[in-house]
Amino acid sequence: MEPTRVLLADDQALVRAGFAMMLSVEDEIEVVGQVTNGREAVEFAAANPVDVILMDVQMPVLDGIAATSQITAADTAKVIILTTFERDDYLFDAIRAGASGFLLKNADPDDLVDAVHAVASGHALLAPEVTVRVIERFARQLDAEQSPPAAGTGPAPAVVQQPDPARARLLETLTAREREVLTKVACGLSNAEIAGQMFVAEATVKTHVSNLLAKIQVRDRVQAVVFAYESGLILAGDSPAEG
């Protein structure tokens, strides 16, 4: 098998060198480049074969979130966001930009290697409990975006979440079983938990997940969480524990 090609994007030379050293001992991973800002990451990925980019958030010229948005839109590579801060706003913005994973810079070397392998294989690098945080953050964001400014000092009127029409149409292509699985994915359940609730084999759940991701045109189950809200399948304010 060809090694997974990794690009390192960080404005700190020592950080890049550290990650390169950690990854260089893996025969199945090849560090194909190092860049110092988001703009260079976008340009490198457009001109060279790259499978996974380890992307810092705070960089000059173009930050990691903006660079991720451009890279995923062009579908030139998958992105793992790296940061020293465990902040929900970075997590949320990274996922909305299309990142497939989120990792702290102080992660263990084994976790870094596992993250690269997981994302390169098409999996999302977020544990179910972290997915729940994404759900809660996304629900709050939708409320803020869709609620008009309050007039005077009175409370703002309640606003009904409006589904995105294009995503709502894609949602209609799912079977009833696939909609059920997507709902449970959006509630932060793992494949094993979904299999237990639906009384089916975990392999069956994996098949349903693979099929529904293709139909709704998203890369992984984390993007599926965002889709579930934007399509109207899950409403802002619904409990992540439900499903």
Tally of CB atoms within 10 A around 168: 14
Q: Does some domain include residue 237?
A: no
Q: Are 106 and 146 contained in the same domain?
A: no
Q: Does some domain include residue 175?
A: yes
Q: Does some domain include residue 242?
A: no
Q: Are 8 and 116 contained in the same domain?
A: yes
Instruction: State the chain's mean pLDDT as an integer.
Output: 82
Q: Are 106 and 205 contained in the same domain?
A: no
Q: Does some domain include residue 222?
A: yes
Q: Are 110 and 134 contained in the same domain?
A: no
- pLDDT confidence of residue 141: 65
Q: Are 144 and 107 contained in the same domain?
A: no
Q: Are 113 and 133 contained in the same domain?
A: no
Q: Are 136 and 39 contained in the same domain?
A: no
Structure tokens at 215: 């139909």
- Average pLDDT rounded to a whole number, residues 102-109: 82
Contact indicator for 108, 65 with CB cutoff of 8 Å:
no
Give the chain's domain count: 2
Among candidates 136, 157, 162, 137, which has minimal Cα distance to 147? 157
Domain extent, residue 68, equals 4-120
Predicted confidence (pLDDT) per residue in 134-178, tens digit = 666 666 665 566 555 555 545 444 444 567 788 889 999 999 999
Q: Does some domain include residue 240?
A: no
Predicted confidence (pLDDT) per residue in 15-45, tens digit = 999 999 999 889 899 999 999 999 999 999 9
- pLDDT confidence of residue 55: 96
* 64 has pLDDT over 90: yes
- pLDDT confidence of residue 31: 96
Q: Are 112 and 141 contained in the same domain?
A: no
Q: Are 114 and 193 contained in the same domain?
A: no
β strands within the chain, DSSP E = 4-9, 29-35, 52-56, 78-83, 101-104
Q: Does some domain include residue 241?
A: no
- Backbone φ/ψ region at 235: left (φ over 0), alpha (ψ -120 to 50), beta: beta
Structure tokens at 158: 């309640």
The C-alpha angle with vertex 133 and arms to 70 and 150, in degrees rounded to 5, equals 85
Q: Does some domain include residue 220?
A: yes
Q: Are 102 and 177 contained in the same domain?
A: no
- Backbone φ/ψ region at 49: left (φ over 0), alpha (ψ -120 to 50), beta: beta
Q: Are 98 and 206 contained in the same domain?
A: no
Q: Does some domain include residue 238?
A: no
What pTM, to 2 d.p., does this model score?
A: 0.69
Sign of the CA dihedral with 235 first, then 167, 157, and 134 last: positive
Give me the CATH number covering residue 212: 3.40.50.2300
- pLDDT confidence of residue 133: 64
